[in-house]
Amino acid sequence: MSTASEQTTTATGRKARGERTRQAILEAAVHLASAEGLEGLTIGRLASELSMSKSGLFAHFGSKEGLQLATVEAARGVFIREVIGPAFEAERGSPRLWKLCDTWLGYVEGGVFRGGCFFAAASAEFDGRPGPVRDRIAAIMKEWLKALGRAVSEAQRTGHLDQDVDAAQLAFEFNALELGANWAFQLHGDRRAFARARAAILERLRLYSKPAGLRLLPAVKEKRRAPRARRGNRQ
């Protein structure tokens, strides 16, 4: 967010032209990186994709690492806009907690990034390489887990959820189910995974819900039962 607002301005206060191309570069970079990885995000490829010169593009970031860090930051912006923002429109407690999970799944399902969740890809790629990029990714993911955990705690405080549940534990589980859905979709193209994750999360929410919270959750669709040759399934 700080990066986006540090635009170089002229005396009249008009935005410098460089800032717009910088945004255009990051827009493309974020998609390319989510699909090909932050290392596969090559300056040459990115430049030719935007039909500009390598050196011209390079000058905006000073180094490859600079480009990667800027890309991570841009992706964080998208994530906040697409997931965090909408969730905070729901009222505090179980609705917001559920919306947080539901929107996350929608953000992957809807193809906000070409290669699924940017941070799922990035953290898998960088978890083994020390450096500022890895540190930033880890910090953002921790930030996300914290937000999830806080949503759980709030649902407890509002009397929607049982006080006895471990907020961090539930946040871990929800995050895992979301990452699992992203994984299944990216690798197998299996869209049912989103329904699976939603069902699992909702089931857990209902299990721990107090009567006041139970009414605020989506209605239960059908009984959990082994499906016998349903039609329209991929593979």
Partner DNA sequence: GATTAAAACGAACGTTCGTGCTATATAACC
Partner DNA sequence: GGTTATATAGCACGAACGTTCGTTTTAATC
Q: Which residues bind its own copies (CB under 8 A)?
A: 35-37, 39-40, 114-116, 120-121, 123-125, 127-129, 137-138, 141-142, 163-169, 172-173, 175-177, 179-181, 183-184, 186-188, 193, 196-197, 199-200, 207, 223-227
**By C-beta, is 64 or 192 nearer to DNA?**
64
Q: Does 175 bind DNA (CB under 7 A)?
A: no
**By C-beta, is 45 or 196 nearer to DNA?**
45
Question: In whole angstroms, how close is the CB of 49 to DNA at the nearest point?
Answer: 11
Q: Which of these ranges, 49-57, 74-82, 131-139, 168-176, lies near DNA under the rule CB under 7 A?
A: 49-57
Q: Which of 2, 5, 12, 235 binds DNA (CB under 7 A)?
A: 12
Question: In whole angstroms, how close is the CB of 101 to its own copies at the nearest point?
Answer: 13
For 62, the token pair is 């000073």
**By C-beta, is 21 or 175 nearer to DNA?**
21
Task: Give 126's strand partners.
Answer: none
Q: What distance in Å separates the CA atoms of residue 235 and residue 110, rounded to the nearest whole number?
A: 20
Q: What distance in Å separates the CA atoms of residue 54 and residue 33, rounded to the nearest whole number?
A: 17
Q: Does 54 bind DNA (CB under 7 A)?
A: yes
Look-up of token digits 């999360």:
201
Q: What distance in Å separates the CA atoms of residue 51 and residue 96, rounded to the nearest whole number?
A: 43
